[in-house]
């Protein structure tokens, strides 16, 4: 009984914070290695390398913002956050729609210019808004989507932002949102048959879309990436070039890696495009080898398992689903990003959480962690509004799939 009370107690989980910030600090170092200039001295202190790297300095700024972001979100009243979920969802949907309409860029229309060369990516924030909205919607039902009305309601909430994001050219972000919603549906006690039917419909729709694009001879870059993934030999210096160079860089690291700030390294010579953002894992593989890559994977595994543990002992369904949603978001990012750097998944432009360069990505991931901490901090408040009978019944239902 004492152990059970310890697990469900209200607290700010320091273990999760330590794991996340350790990963983020290492991310600054990885970005610095990826952007190491051939004009810099390899024997200079690490701090000098960070200062000389524009991307590493910016990543430090994003990291320094993280404690402020986490503090603000943690201290948002739990009931206030739950009541304002619809407002957050509609605001984020309107923002991605506005960016799609008014962005004049060719191809991907996902970024909004701010000041001093900084940009934001609204689709990143839409992921957190979707987590909150789905958590509130699914927590209303004992078995969500048991009626056609509930099914349509949930599909509309998911479909509207996903369609806008897809039209903006961000297939990766759309996939993340679809995956995290599927994970939340699974843990909210949805009938498995309906999940399989939904998955089958989505897969068939995607196959039909790409089949149509192939038949009509489309030159869409997303189709080119899929075809390059299926048969890289057809385009070794085209759409498959980045992936081929990534595998070469990771392989060159061997067991222990070639080390940091090495003259003539593939990362230093820019052999891997975007190796400080989406392909940061190739830099880690070259510099720290198989051991470094394994440690990074272990770090992610510990973060995900910690979130699963916290969700297991969160008795409020809304809070439990928020944690599961954040966990699903991070899980897909890690799986897809590392998979594409190893040639196991097609390129989608999804960054590696806490490691890849990017302000929107860092703010979103830290914001997601803060939502988890907000839930654990307010466990006693969310738990006290339930009667013992409802509380025990809900705890049984929630824990069956955790």
As a whole number of angstroms, the distance between CA 78 and CA 6 comes to 21
CA separation, residue 276 to residues 24, 114, 279, 280, 355 (Å) = 14, 21, 6, 5, 9
What pLDDT is recorded for position 212? 62
Residue 329's alpha-carbon distances to 40, 112, 184, 229, 313, in angstroms, are: 37, 22, 10, 23, 20
> What span, in angstroms and rounded, lies between the C-alpha atoms of 351 and 275?
11
Chain-centroid distance, C-alpha 41: 35
Answer yes or no: are the C-beta atoms of 318 and 328 closer than 8 Å: no
Distance CA 127, CA 88 (A): 11
> Nearest to residue 33, comparing CAs of 262, 254, 244?
262
Helix and strand counts by DSSP (H, E) for the chain = 17, 2
Per-residue pLDDT of the chain (402 residues; tens, 9 = 90+): 555 566 788 888 999 999 999 999 999 999 999 888 766 666 777 888 788 888 999 999 999 999 999 999 999 998 888 999 999 999 999 988 888 877 655 556 666 666 555 677 788 889 999 999 999 999 988 788 888 888 888 889 998 998 888 888 788 888 899 999 999 999 988 888 778 877 787 777 767 766 666 666 555 555 556 655 565 655 555 556 778 888 889 988 899 999 888 877 887 777 888 889 999 999 999 999 999 999 999 999 999 999 999 999 998 999 999 999 999 999 999 999 999 898 888 888 789 999 999 888 899 999 999 999 999 998 865 544 444 444 444 444 554 566
Nearest partner of 328 among 351, 350, 306, 304, judged by Cα? 304
Backbone angles phi, psi at 65, to 5 degrees: -75, -25
Residue 245: the pLDDT is 86
Residue with tokens 């970024």: 111
Q: How far is 395 from 257, CA to CA, in rounded Å? A: 47
- What is the pLDDT, as a whole number, of residue 389? 42
> What ranges do the domains of the chain cover?
2-399
How far apart are alpha carbons 261 and 41 in whole angstroms? 8
pLDDT number for residue 274: 84
Q: What's the CA gap between 360 and 138, in Å, rounded?
A: 27
Spatial distance between the Cα atoms of 176 and 120, rounded to a whole number of angstroms = 18
User: pLDDT at position 130, please?
Assistant: 96
| CB atoms closer than 10 angstroms to residue 211 | 10
Helix (H) or strand (E) holding 113: strand 112-113
Report whether 300 contacts 289 (CB < 8 A): no
Helix, strand, coil share of the chain (percent; to 5): 70, 0, 30
Q: What CA–CA distances, in Å, run from 104 to 98, 168, 358, 360? A: 12, 11, 21, 20
- Structural element, H or E, at residue 119: strand 119-120
Q: How many alpha carbons fall within 13 Å on the CB side of residue 385?
A: 9
């Amino acid at each position: 009984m004492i152990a059970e009370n310890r697990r469900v107690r209200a607290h700010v989980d320091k273990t999760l914070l330590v794991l996340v910030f350790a990963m983020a600090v290492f991310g600054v170092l990885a970005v610095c290695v990826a952007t190491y200039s051939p004009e810099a001295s390899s024997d200079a202190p690490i701090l000098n390398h960070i200062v000389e790297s524009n991307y590493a300095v910016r990543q430090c700024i994003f990291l320094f913002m993280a404690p402020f972001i986490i503090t603000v979100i943690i201290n948002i009243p739990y009931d206030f956050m739950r009541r304002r979920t619809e407002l957050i969802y509609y605001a984020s949907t309107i923002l991605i729609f506005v960016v799609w309409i008014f962005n004049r860029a060719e191809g991907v229309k996902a970024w909004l210019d701010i000041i001093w060369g900084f940009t934001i990516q609204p689709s990143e924030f839409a992921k957190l808004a979707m987590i909150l909205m789905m958590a509130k919607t699914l927590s209303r039902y004992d078995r969500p989507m048991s009626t056609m009305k509930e099914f349509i309601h949930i599909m509309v909430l998911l479909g509207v932002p996903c369609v806008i994001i897809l039209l903006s050219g961000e297939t990766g972000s759309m996939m993340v949102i679809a995956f995290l919603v599927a994970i939340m549906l699974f843990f909210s006690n949805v009938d498995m048959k309906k999940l399989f039917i939904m998955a089958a419909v989505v897969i068939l729709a995607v196959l039909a879309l790409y089949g149509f694009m192939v038949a009509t001879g489309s030159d869409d870059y997303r189709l080119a990436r899929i075809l390059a993934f299926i048969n890289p030999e057809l385009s070794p210096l085209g759409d498959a070039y980045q992936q081929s160079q990534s595998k070469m860089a990771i392989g060159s690291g061997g067991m222990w890696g070639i080390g940091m700030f090495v003259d003539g390294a593939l990362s230093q010579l820019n052999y891997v495009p975007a190796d400080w953002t989406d392909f940061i894992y190739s830099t880690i593989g070259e510099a720290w080898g198989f051991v470094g890559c394994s440690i990074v994977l272990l770090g992610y595994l510990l973060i995900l398992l910690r979130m699963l543990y916290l969700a297991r002992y969160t008795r409020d369904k809304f809070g439990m689903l928020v944690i599961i949603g954040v966990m699903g978001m991070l899980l897909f990012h890690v799986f897809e990003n590392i998979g594409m750097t190893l040639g196991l998944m097609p390129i989608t432009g999804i960054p590696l959480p806490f490691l890849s360069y990017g302000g929107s990505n860092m703010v979103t991931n830290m914001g997601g962690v803060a939502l988890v901490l907000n839930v654990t901090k307010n466990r006693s408040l969310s738990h006290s509004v339930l009667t013992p009978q409802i509380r025990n019944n809900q705890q049984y239902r929630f824990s069956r799939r955790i």
